[in-house]
Amino acid sequence: MDYQWYPGHMTKARRMMQENIGLVDLVIELTDARIPLSSRNPDIDALSGSKARILIMTKADLADPVRTEAFKKYFEEKGWMVVAVDARTRKANDRIRAYVEKACAAKRERDKRRGIVGRPLRAMVVGIPNVGKSTFINSFAGKASAKTGNKPGVTRGKQWIRLNKDLELLDTPGILWPRFEDRQVGVNLALTGAIRQELLEEQELSLELLGFLQREYPDLLLAKYKPENDGWDLPMDSAELLTKIAEARKLIRTGGEPDYQRAAKMVLDDFRNGKTGRITLETPPAGGNDSE
Ligand code: G4P
């Protein structure tokens, strides 16, 4: 399997990030709660340097709550502030604001010592494509926000969304490129829809998913697809399982063959839309550190 990420995009994204990170006090990094490791690019650690950081786990509404809690602990043990959210809602906004203050307390103190009072903190949202950056910015900024125009000392064209008198958000998020060195990372990104479908054949991808679900969420799999009066003996070969699913859902081509393509698409869509259940594809490394 091959994954392509164009070097030109990567260089441009990196340049923009470097330029913008210089302007902010705080980096709000977004990761997908269903693939918290695969959807992070560890380069962010080097890029954000000593800036304050908050990690937001988006799409927590689709993720396995037990694993989300385990990942929260795992990331917190690294010393980060972590919030798991459904980025489409504003429920966690107060908690995030409180964390922003906490994360930037040292910066505020430094400003005070230098006689700088009342300068709003500046934050930037970063993450891989589709992780929920725009959605989060909209929810976090909300209707009350006003865009502030160019200001002296700010690179031309940068727009800041004023959240309140204490906080401004850069309206353009920083795009991180996913890492494809590890095959499983590519599979995870394709399964959640973070990278383009064509990069991985749908059928091949659905077999990966079925293999994973048989191992880690067999009950959800059976509850979703097994007809009541049928006996499915898991684990079985994933191609055989796809056949059974196609037959159970009457996805049959003219001529009587199972329609693997439609069955594969259905299995993938059900997973992506949370219809199979709340599923997380990864578990925190035991005592390990993903960014090393
Ligand atoms: P980006 O700026 O990082 O590229 O991501 P964006 O906000 O555009 O979000 C990508 C998709 O993910 C959007 O779906 C958005 O609604 C969805 N999304 C973002 N955060 C959450 C979340 O916390 N929970 C859930 N369930 N969905 C979330 P979309 O516009 O329908 O796009 P698509 O699904 O058709 O790709």
Report the distance separating Cα 83 and Cα 278, nearest Å: 18
Helix (H) or strand (E) holding 71: helix 65-76
* DSSP tag of 128: S
In terms of C-beta density within 10 A (0-12 exposed, 13-18 middle, 19 or more buried), how is residue 267 classed?
A: buried
Pairing of strands 52-58, 26-32: parallel
Looking at the chain, the domain(s) classified CATH 1.10.1580.10 span: 201-272
Q: What angle in degrees, to the nearest 10, is found between the helix axes of 218-225 and 238-248?
A: 30
CB-CB contact of 124 with 51 (8 Å): no
Digit-coded pLDDT (tens) for 174-224: 888 877 778 899 899 999 998 876 656 899 999 999 999 999 999 999 999
Pocket test for ligand 1, best of 135, 138, 140 (most atoms within 8 A of CB): 135
| Residue nearest (by alpha carbon) to ligand 1 atom 26 | 59
Strand partners, 164: 167
Quick one: pLDDT at residue 145? 53
Quick one: pLDDT at residue 291? 45
Atom number, ligand 1, closest to the C-alpha of residue 128: 3
> Which residues of the chain, if any, have pLDDT below 50?
1-3, 144, 152-155, 290-292
The CB of 127 under 6 Å from ligand 1? The reply is: yes
Amino acid at 234: L
**Predicted structure pTM score:** 0.90
Cα of 47 from ligand 1 centre, angstroms: 25
Q: Which fold has domain 8-179?
A: Rossmann fold (3.40.50)
Tokens of 190: 């394709």
Quick one: pLDDT at residue 147? 60
Residues with Cβ < 8 Å from 208, sequence gap 6 or more?
187, 191, 238
The CB of 129 under 6 Å from ligand 1? The reply is: yes
Q: Considering all CA atoms of the chain, what is the largest pairwise distance in Å, rounded to the nearest integer?
A: 80
The CB of 86 under 6 Å from ligand 1? The reply is: yes
| Residue nearest (by alpha carbon) to ligand 1 atom 24 | 59
Quick one: pLDDT at residue 14? 82
Tokens of 36: 């918290």
Whether a cis peptide bond, with omega within 30° of 0, leads into 235 is yes
Atom number, ligand 1, closest to the C-alpha of residue 60: 23
Report the distance separating Cα 292 and Cα 289, nearest Å: 6
Report the distance separating Cα 242 and Cα 248, nearest Å: 10
Looking at the chain, the domain(s) classified CATH 3.40.50.300 span: 8-179
Q: Which fold has domain 201-272?
A: Conserved Hypothetical Protein Ylqf; Chain: A; domain 2 (1.10.1580)
